[in-house]
Amino acid sequence: MRHCSGGSLSLSSVAVSIVGASGYSGIELVRILSRHPHIALQSLFANASVGKRVDEVYPWFRGSVGKTFEPYSVEAACKSDLIFIALPSGDAMSIVPRLLDRGKKVIDLGGDFRLQDPELYTRYYPHTHASPQYLTNAVYGLPELNRKSIAGAQLIANPGCYPTSAIIPLFPLLKAGIINSSGITISSLSGVSGAGRRTSIDLSFAEVNETVKAYKVGTHQHTPEIQTILSDATRKPVSITFVPHLIPISRGIFTSIYANLEGDCAVTDILQIYDRHYTNEPFVRYTPSSSPEIKNVIHTNYVDIGFYTHPENNQLIVLSTIDNLVKGAAGQAVQNMNIMYGFEEREGLR
C-alpha cells in the first residue's frame, strides 16, 4: 500500500487539557498525547471518574500516567493553550464559546460544530443548537481536505468516524467526475466502542455478540455531514444513502461504498486519481483490487482503501477501514493539533 509523509518540526511545547478524558475517545487522547514529545498534558476533566487516578480506572497506564481526573471548570481549562473536548454531542456547545472568547484553541471531537446550518443540526440531533453563532467559525478537521484552513483555525470540528471512512475514499472520485454524485450507497460496520463508554443494555456483550444490527436507518446524524462536506468540497450536489451497522467487535469500522460510473473507467484510472490526491498523505493507504481489513488499522491513524470496478453494472465498489477511536476520533484530533502548531504531522501517531 502506498503512503508518504512530510512536514516540518516545531520544537515548541503546547499545554493541553481534555474535557471528557475518561471516555473511550478521551482516554485514547491521553494515550497518544502522553507520548507526544511536544505536549504538556495538564488537566484531565471527567464526571463519574472525578477523584480517581487515571491508572486506577485504566490500569494499563500504571507507571506512565499518574494524573487524577478533575471536575471541569473554565478557569482550570484556560490554563492550557489547547483544549480537546471529547463529550457526547450536545454537551460541547455550552462549553466551547467561553473557551473561544478567552482566546483558547479548541478541538471538539463531538458533532456540535460539524454542520454549519443550525436547522440541519436540529433535524438530525435531538436538541436545538445553543450557540449557532459559532458554527461558521469552525473548520472541519479532515486534513486530507482542509489542511491549510486547519493550520490557522481556533476551533476545529473533528469529523465523525463514519464520515471519515466515507469522505476520504469518495472525495477524489467525485472531484474527478468519474462517478455520479447522486445515488451513492454507503454501508458501514462499526465496533461497539463507537457508541461511547456508557451503560446500555443494547450495548452489553450478550446483546451484541453473534449478531449484526442496522440502526438509525435513514436518520443517522452522519448522513448530512457526509453530504454537506462532499458537496462543499466538490462544488456539486452530492446525495447518499447511508446505513450504519453494529457488529460484535470492540473497535474498527469497515465501510463499503457503491457508486455509478460516469463512463468507461479501469482500475488503473482509479489508481491514478488516488495517486494525484493521496501519494503524499501520511495516513492514507490504498491498493487496487484488494479488500482492506480492520485488523490492519487497529490502534493506528491509517485509513486503508481498496477498490474494484464492476463493468457489467457500470459500478465502482470502494472499501475502507479505520480505527474509529484513532483516525475516527482521537488520532485525527492529534493530527489536526500537529498541523495547527507546526509539528510533524505524524508526531505521536507513529
Please list the active-site residues: 161
**Contacts of 41 by beta carbon, 8 Å cutoff, 6+ apart:** 16, 17, 30, 33, 34, 65, 67
Q: How far apart are CA 64 and CA 151, in angstroms?
A: 30
The answer for residues whose C-beta is within 8 angstroms of residue 99's C-beta and 6 or more apart is 74, 77, 78, 83, 106
- Which cell is 191 given? 465496533
Count how many Cα atoms sit within 13 Å of the Cα of residue 304 in the half-sphere of its side chain: 19
Rounded Cα gap, residues 188 and 167, in angstroms: 13
* Residues 342 and 8 sit within 8 Å (Cβ to Cβ): yes
C-alpha cell of 266?
A: 479501469
Please give the full DSSP string across 23-48, using - where no structure is assigned: SHHHHHHHHHHTT-TTEEEEEEE-ST
Return d(Cα 287, Cα 215) in angstroms, integer.
30
Residue type, 200: S
CA distance 179 to 173: 6
Strand ranges, E, within the chain? 14-19, 39-45, 82-85, 105-108, 139-140, 155-157, 184-190, 213-214, 240-246, 253-260, 284-288, 303-310, 315-322
Pairing label, strands 39-45, 253-260: unpaired
DSSP 15: E
Distance CA 252, CA 343 (A): 27
What is the length of the chain?
350
